[in-house]
Homo-oligomer: A and B are copies of this chain.
Amino acid sequence: MDYSDLIEKLLNGNSRAAARLITLVENDIGAAENIIKAIYSHTGNAYILGITGSPGSGKSTFISTITKIFAEQGKKIGIICVDPTSPITGGAILGDRIRMKDNFSLKDVFIRSMANRGQLGGLARATEDAVKILDAYGCEIIIVETVGVGQSEVDIFKSAQTVIVLLVPGSGDDIQAIKAGIMEITDIFVVNKMDLAGADKKIADVMQMLQLKMNYKYESEKHDENNLVKSKWTPEIIKVNSVTGENFEQMIELINKHREFLNESGVLVDYQKNRIKSETIQILKHKISQKVEGLIHSNPTIDEYLRLVMDKSLDPYSMANLIVKLLGIE
């Protein structure tokens, strides 16, 4: 299929073309490949914010408020809501966001939901591609929001320059939940609903947890190159009220501070290199998995291996080795 007409419209700022192209990259990696190839040279201008927080942390209101501020600055904004947890409730979240959309003029804000369609790697890859489409579409700020917290967010946030995690005063459950790998990639912790009792206590809790992380970091640095790069930044903590907008000015300043840090420290270049590496590896894994799954379903030799493993005359590792040989990539 030829996407050049849609892509031309996209580059001219047509929102329906953007929506259509995102659907295409979501459903078909073949289409994604052609589309991204065509638009790639038009990307790299957007600033990408990753925002997460447990259910009840007020993500919708927070995003509405911050989006309004960016819109008032005359910026074109894209919002991608990613739900890695379920294909079922995609509709519910979408509904939420459509209500959110009422606050903005369609011209300035593009909102899109993406739900998991069974392949986690696929979702992260599709999100990366959607970000690129909105980038080429001309969005200056792209907000990637995920619900819940967990390892999947880490993959999804690989393209975010600044990662914000929302917490609320009260029970420590949200910190518990966020203890995830997401911790290590968070740049700004925002205690939302600062009017509730315990906001300062929550700030203290975050600081304590960061201390724990610092102690742990020494060990993790040995494992993860991305951590090393990110770790030069000390995460900021701020409390806000998303309903009244209190402290949002300071929070935007923190985002800008982080953005400047990325530019001036030279971290951004390392970071982009790592991002491209991990993106390429993701695409490769996807291509190779597809190939292998295709083989497993069609190749009689592999079917024979499968029978042998069922009989316990062969083990899965040896089967994997035999397939590696079959593929010729020893």
Contact = CB atoms under 8 A, between A and B. Distances in A.
Contacts of A273: 306, 310
Q: Which of A120, A149, A150, A318 has the most CB of B within 10 A?
A: A150
B288 A86 contact: no
B329 A32 contact: no
B180 A86 contact: yes
Residues of A in contact with B, size category:
35 or more
Contacts of A291: 329
A117 interface: yes
A107 interface: no
Nearest to A153: B150
Interface string A72-96: 0000000000001111110000000
Given A55-B176, A150-B152, A315-B40, A289 B285 contact: yes
B118 A280 contact: no
**Chain A interface mostly helix, strand, loop or mixed?**
helix
Contacts of A63: none
B55 A87 contact: no
Contact of A118 (B43, B223, B315): B223
Interface in A13-70: 32-33, 36-37, 40-41, 43-44, 55-56
Contact of A296 (B183, B281, B310, B318): B281
Contacts of A40: 312, 315-316
Q: Which of A223, A285, A320 has the most CB of B within 10 A?
A: A320
A37 to B, nearest CB: 5
A88 B183 contact: yes
A153 B36 CA distance: 31
Interface string A281-293: 1011101110111
Instruction: Enumerate the 6 nearest inter-chain pairs by beta-carbon distance, A residue then B residue, closest first.
Output: A40-B315, A283-B320, A85-B180, A86-B179, A33-B317, A150-B150
Given A41-B312, A86-B179, A284-B288, 8 more contacts: A40-B315, A55-B177, A56-B173, A87-B220, A117-B223, A279-B316, A283-B317, A327-B329
